[in-house]
Amino acid sequence: MRLLAKLPHFDFMGRRRFALIFSGVLLVLSLGALGARGLSLGIDFTGGTLIELGYPESVELAGLRKTLEADGFPGAVVQHFGTTREVLIRIAPREGLSKAELSSRVVRGLEALSGGALDLRRVEFVGPQVGEELTEDGGLAMLIALFGILIYVGLRFEYRFALGAVAALAHDVILTLGLFSILGLDFDLTVLAAVLAVIGYSLNDTIVVYDRVRENFRKLRKGEAVEIVNVSLNQTLARTLTTSLTTLLVLLALFFIGGELIHGFATALIAGVVVGTYSSIYVASTAVLALGISKTDLMPVKKEDGEEVDARP
Amino acid sequence: MLNQYPLWKNLLILGVLLVGAFFALPNVFGEDPAVQVSLSRGAPVEVDLKARLGEILSVAGITAKATEQGESRLLLRFTDTETQLRAADLLREKLGGDYVVALNLAPAMPGWLAQLGPRPMYLGLDLRGGVHFLMEVDMAAAVSQAEARYTGDLRTLMRSEKLRYKSISLQRGSGIKLSFRSAAVRDQARSVAQREYPALLFESQDDGAEFRLRAYLNPTAVEEVRRFALQQNITTLRNRVNELGVAEPVIQQQGQTRIVVQLPGVQDTVRAKEIIGATATLEFRMVDEDHDVQSAQTGRVPPGAKLFRERNGRPILLKKQVMLTGDYITDAASGFEQQTGTPAVFITLDSKGARIFSNRTKNAIGKSMGVVFIENKIETRRVNGKLVRQKRIIAEVINVAVIRDRLGKRFQISGLDSSTEARDLALLLRAGALAAPIEIIEERTIGPSLGQENIDLGFRSVIIGFCLVLAFMALYYRGFGMVANLALAVNLVMIVAVLSMLQATLTLPGIAGIVLTVGMAVDANVLIFERIREELANGNSPQASIHAGYEKAFSTIADANITTLIAAVVLFGFGTGPVKGFAITLSIGILTSMFTALMGTRAVINLVYGGKQARALPL
């Protein structure tokens, strides 16, 4: 079975202006949303308390809110989580109200209200100092990952490829974050992990394309750079689509049956894989062309005896 | 041309496969819900305990699946969690405080396998349920406490040296301020104090009318104070966790000022937090030797006395009047008595405490004195519809000793059985008197029901994701696809094997990492197979195409995987708990998939298609 006819001949690079506009619009939208609305950061980053409770049967939120208010938590956000038998309570950090014991008070209070038939499913408390650290570390991790990749690709290929790869990665990360901002989805530690995995995945795709571009530059003695990139994209297209498909298959499995805790993670990765597939074709390749790659940049350095220096064993 | 692997390569692959299967095997058998019984002091359990437990359980109609005698614990296995919980509650009630009854998950692998040593994967708290705390020791307060002790000592020193000072006061966060009327006295004070207290640094400051001296701890002393503060808190936490009854608690230093506490399988997490958050104090009281303990136990406690218990549970009657509280203790260290060489604990009091103690013990020589360790717990309850915070106090006598002499600034408790006992007593004294404040700065609690749910959902998504990919590959690449599927299955086994071998913690994001690896691991095979298809389309022979396909795809696969590995390693370096779990499985998955997708599939394809002049490949 094949996804495509023997060897496709799509003129990807011919439409690169259109793709540029398309990406540009999406980037502006994402950055706009991130600037205007920001991310709905989870308590991992903001600090605060999160409590998930399970009741034997459906529970009315109004009653819970009243009790919480009476117990001294007027600002608590109460909502159903998954089913109507599960309740999620969020308490934002406030001056003098950011202690771990707070959740005990909430739970003991609600236990008495429901007569003890209460299942404490999850408590997360993050102190303000920890939240700050996590935010800082998260941002730093993203930068270091990008930088490490920049260096590796720069060493293995050429600096223009490295810049192109990082441009594609930045594109993917911004669009994924933008999606979370526009849809108002919770951004927590697992989503951050997913975004970093997106970096890894998208890069994977980009590298495969670049590898073929390099090979073709060396092999095909004639042809414009645009043409060579086009041929390379067509040659790798079957693989790009197949791998994206298998990855999407497992991600959809995670999305639909992985449970609530892994939902955001799966969402971010699905978005990232789709965007990453697109960007490895359009952003990464377009960037390399725009930076003016030419055949002479990729010709292997000849040794004196004329043997090729090749990384391949 | 033919595609054939040399024998050693095939053997190597087979060898790795067998080792992987061996280490992954324990996971097949799952885990039994179990109850672990041990003595609270860590002593070996007696031989007849097994029979005693069996009796207690059989009266209530509970039968254990198996009972295992360990060196310092007895493990009872049950068929389901419900029986386990009932048994644990029953045993806690019947056995009393000398025993620790803890819930546990025991690997259910057969005996012969357990003998060989492999262990199943270690499940993280989000999968087995439990409490994770990150606690921070308030180091500024610890340093301030130490300086506060020196403040009193400096006053005494100035008085005894007849150096007149205007004031000596503790400035929180900036050391001790001493002020004098003249520069000469100030300088003299400085040299005297420096000689007496080498741990302090001094700084002279002049301001017209006043001649000041600022004293603060030198960096080595600060380091010492911080180290002690952390160590004491870890010791205290160990004691408290013991009381909770947790099978495999983790109490660990993290960084310079933090402590991680992980309590797997704790049911009442709110209570756990209250016990852990307790504060401790110390009291010295005289033993009431005039009255009988036996009659006091029946409820007739004489006036002026109070009934306590020693650590081993023996009742003891102490006087109501408190001789001294732990606030005056400035140091407690274990060591050996010089004359006899027996283990002892050396206690130092500050000058005010020394004065009080010396006055109160001068008429008590030859009598016994007890040290009471008091834990103050705060519990939240709802009473008549209102939330009430109640203080619960647990007092325990940690030592009783006869006063040999009038006790002053420095004294010692001797007659201890072992140096371990001396060390424990010193640590408890420090914990009660000198503990630096500690605060929970992060908590992640997963209830047991959610833990089980996470395992089920995670497991199911791995299986379904795996099956979807298998089906796709079989349809899309036919015979070669089946080879890739075989490699994928082996890859899954290898991931489980490596996780078990390293005893790395498997978390829910970790499972997500495995799922993602399953999706991405076939990428290597996709690359190879697409290359082979291309080569075939170019009119090359099947054997040459297989060879060229693997050859040409290799550097692409290596580059692609190494860059993903960079991202995974960065994640590992920066992530905390859940993110780390993801990074671990992702990294392991990348490495094992390189092996299975490159070498594994090549070996099988060589075996099946490489030996003969195949005309067409099932691709």
The CATH code of the domain that includes B296 is: 3.30.1360.200
Residues 87-126 of B with CB under 8 A from A: 126
Domain-embedded: residue B265 = no
Q: What is the mean pLDDT of residues A90-94?
A: 79
Residues of B in contact with A247 (CB under 8 A): 516, 519-520, 523
* Structural domains in chain A, sorted by start: 13-41+131-298 (1.20.1640.10), 48-126 (3.30.70.3400)
- Indicate the range of A255-269, A280-294, B427-441 predicted with least confidence: B427-441
Specify the DSSP class assigned to residue A94: -
A269, A197 in Cβ contact below 8 A? yes
What's the confidence (pLDDT) of residue A28?
96
Q: Is the pLDDT of residue B108 over 90?
A: no
Contact partners, residue B439, CB within 8 Å, separation at least 6: A99, A100, A127, B135, B136, B138
- At B154, which amino acid appears? L
Task: Provide the pLDDT for residue B487.
Answer: 93
pLDDT reported for residue B499? 93
B474 within 8 A of B482, measured Cβ to Cβ: yes
Q: What pLDDT does B425 receive? A: 80
CA distance B67 to B35: 10
CA dist., res. B60 & res. A99, Å (int):
42
Neighbours of B290 (CB within 10 A): 10
Between B385 and B185, where is the model more confident? B185
* Per-residue pLDDT at A309: 45
Residue appearing with tokens 């697409």:
B530
Residues whose CB is less than 8 angstroms from the CB of residue A36 and which lie 6 or more positions away in sequence, other chains included: none
The model's pTM is 0.79
B452 occurs within a structural domain: yes
Given the DSSP bridges, would you call strands B74-77 and B31-39 parallel, antiparallel or unpaired? antiparallel
Rg (CA), chain B: 34
Q: What is the CATH number of the domain that holds B167?
A: 3.30.1360
CB contact residues (below 8 A), chain B span 258-297, against chain A: 269-270, 273-274, 277
pLDDT of the residue at A311? 46
Is residue B367's pLDDT more than 80?
yes
Closest alpha carbon to B74 in B115, B107, B96, B45: B45
B579 and A212 in contact by Cβ < 8 A? no
The model's confidence at residue B445, banded by pLDDT at 50, 70 and 90, is: confident
SS3 call for B445: strand
Give the pair of three-digit tokens for residue B135: 């606690």
Domain that holds residue B152: 140-222
Cβ–Cβ < 8 Å for B394, B274: no
Q: Is the pLDDT of residue A307 over 60?
A: no
Contact B465 A254 (CB under 8 A): yes
- Strands B258-264 vs B130-137: parallel, antiparallel or unpaired: antiparallel
Examine the domain organization and report whether B468 and B458 are in the same domain: yes
How many whole angstroms separate alpha carbon A202 and alpha carbon A271? 11
Q: Rounded to the nearest 5 degrees, what angle is found at the Cα of A267, between the Cα atoms of A266 and A271?
A: 115
Taking only the tens place, the pLDDT of each residue in B221-236 is: 999 888 888 888 888 8
* Residue-level pLDDT at B490: 93
Please, which residues have CB within 8 angstroms of residue A264's CB and are 6 or more apart in sequence? A185, A186, A187, A188, A190, A191, A194
- Put simply, whether B184 touches A (Cβ < 8 Å) is no
Q: Which residues of B touch A189 (CB under 8 A)?
A: 575-576, 578-579
Same domain, B500 and B602: yes
Count of Cβ atoms closer than 10 Å to residue A226 Cβ: 15
User: What rounded mean pLDDT belongs to chain A?
Assistant: 84
Q: Of B72, B440, B443, nearest to B242 (Cα)?
A: B72
This complex has an ipTM of: 0.85
Residue B524 tokens read as: 């290597």
Within 8 A of A145 by CB-CB distance, chain B residues are 566-567, 570-571
Asked if residue B262 is part of any domain, the answer here is no
Query: How many Cβ atoms sit within 10 Å of the Cβ of residue B501?
Result: 16
* CA angle at A251 for the pair B462 and A146, rounded to the nearest 5°: 115
Q: How far is B385 from chain A (nearest CA, A)?
A: 8
pLDDT interval class at A303 (50, 70, 90) = very low
Do residue A208 and residue B382 have CB atoms under 8 angstroms apart? no
Do B209 and B166 lie in one domain? The reply is: yes
User: Looking at B445, B469, B494, which one is the last position of a domain?
Assistant: B445
- Flag if B512 and A121 touch (Cβ within 8 Å): no
pLDDT tens across B446-464, in order? 887 788 888 888 889 889 9
CATH of the domain at B604: 1.20.1640.10
**Which of B384, B417, B445 is the C-terminal boundary of a domain?**
B445
In tens, the pLDDT along B567-577 reads 888 888 876 66
Among B188, B206, B222, the domain boundary falls at B222
Q: Which amino acid is at B104?
A: N
B394 and B286 in a common domain: yes
More confident residue, A279 or A113: A279
Compute the half-sphere exposure of residue B185: CA atoms within 13 Å on the CB side of its CA: 16
Contacts of A207 in chain B (CB under 8 A): 556, 559-560, 563
Under the banding of pLDDT at 50, 70 and 90, the label for residue A272 is: very high
Test A250 with B475 for CB contact under 8 angstroms.
no
Q: Give the pLDDT confidence score for residue A306 in this predicted structure.
A: 42
pLDDT digits (tens, 9 = 90+) for B190-225: 999 999 888 899 988 877 778 888 998 999 999 988
Lowest mean pLDDT among A135-149, B188-202, B528-542: A135-149
Query: Is it the case that residue B174 has pLDDT exceeding 70?
Result: yes
Residue B494 located in a structural domain? yes
Helices A283-290, A225-257: inter-axial angle, 10-degree rounding: 150
Beta-carbon separation of A109 and B561 below 8 A? no
Which residues in chain A touch residue B565, judged by CB atoms under 8 angstroms apart? Answer: 200
**B135 in any annotated domain:** no
Cβ contact B316:B293 at 8 Å: yes
The CA distances from residue B496 to B109, B117, B451, B519, B588, in Å, are 16, 16, 19, 16, 9
Residues B48 and B146 both lie in one domain: no
B130 within some domain: no
Helical spans, DSSP H, in B252-306: 269-276, 293-297
What local confidence, expressed as pLDDT, does residue B6 receive? 86
Would you give the DSSP letter of residue A12? T
B511/B463 Cα distance (integer angstroms): 11
**What digits encode the pLDDT tens for the residues A29-38?**
999 999 999 8
- Confidence at residue B378, expressed as pLDDT on a 0 to 100 scale: 65
For residue B538, pLDDT beyond 80: yes
- Chain B residues touching residue A52 (CB < 8 angstroms): 450
B447 and A207: CB-CB below 8 Å?
no
Which helix or strand (DSSP H or E) is residue B536 part of?
A: helix B508-537
Among the partner-chain residues A121, A207, A312, the one whose CB lies closest to the CB of B449 is A121
B158 and B77 together in one domain? no
Q: Is B460 part of the contact surface with chain A (CB cutoff 8 Å)? A: yes
Return the pLDDT at B390. Answer: 66
Per DSSP, the residues of B351-420 read HHHHHHHHHHHTT-TTSEEEEEEEEEEEEEEEETTEEEEEEEEEEEEEEEEE--S---SEEEE---S-HH
Residues 6+ apart with CB under 8 A from B387: A71, A72, A105, A108, A109, B380, B381
Q: Which residues of A touch B272 (CB under 8 A)?
A: none
Go through chain B and tell me how many residues it has.
619
Question: For the segment B419-440, what is each residue's pLDDT rounded down to a tens digit?
Answer: 878 887 887 777 777 667 788 8
3-state per-residue secondary structure call for B549-600: HHHHHHHHHHHHHHHHHHHHHHHHHHCCHHHHHHHHHHHHHHHHHHHHHHHH
Cα separation, A115 vs A121, in Å, equals 17
- List the single best residue of B254, B270, B591 to mutate versus A (max A Cβ within 10 A): B270
Taking CB atoms and an 8 Å limit, are A144 and B520 in contact across chains?
no
Among the partner residues A197, A242, A261, nearest to B476 by beta-carbon distance: A242
**Comparison of pLDDT for B586 and B46, the residue scoring more:** B586
Question: Does B132 reside within a domain?
Answer: no
Distance of CA B254 to the CA centre of its chain: 10
The pLDDT of residue B379: 64
Tell me how close the Cα of A182 comes to any Cα of chain B, in angstroms.
24
Whether B428 and B487 map to the same domain: the answer is: no
pLDDT digits (tens, 9 = 90+) for B277-325: 777 778 889 998 888 787 777 777 888 888 888 877 788 888 888 888 8
Q: Which of B270, B530, B574 sits opposite A238 (nearest CB)?
A: B530
The verdict on B493 and B593 lying in the same domain is: yes
Q: Would you place residue B125 in the very low, low, confident or very high pLDDT band (cuts 50, 70, 90)?
A: confident
Are B466 and B566 part of one and the same domain?
A: yes
**Per the CB < 8 Å rule, is B387 touching A109?**
yes
B84 domain-assigned: yes
Residue whose C-alpha is closest to residue B280's, from B435, B438, B397, B441: B435
Q: What is the mean pLDDT of chain B?
A: 84
* Partner-chain contact B530 A239, CB within 8 Å: yes
Mean pLDDT on B54-73: 81
> What is the helix (H) or strand (E) element at residue B264, kind and residue range?
strand B258-264
B430 lies in the same domain as B359: yes
Chain B residue with the nearest C-alpha to that of A103: B270
Q: What is residue B411's predicted lDDT score, i.e. its pLDDT? A: 87
Edge-first strand order for the sheet with B329-336 is: B329-336, B343-349, B410-413
Number of domains in chain B: 4
* pLDDT of B488 above 90: yes
Mind telling me how many Å the CA of B457 is from chain A's nearest CA?
A: 5
B365 shares its domain with B294: yes
- Please report, rounded to a whole number, the percentage of residues in chain B having pLDDT higher than 90: 15
Q: How confident is the model at residue A221, as a pLDDT?
A: 72
CATH of the domain at B38: 3.30.70.260
Q: Which of A140, A146, A72, A152 shows the shortest CA–CA distance to A105?
A: A72
Q: How far is B523 from chain A (nearest CA, A)?
A: 5
> By three-state DSSP, how is residue A34 classified?
helix
> Looking at beta carbons, which residues of chain B come within 8 Å of A122?
445-447, 450
Are both B513 and B601 inside the same structural domain? Answer: yes
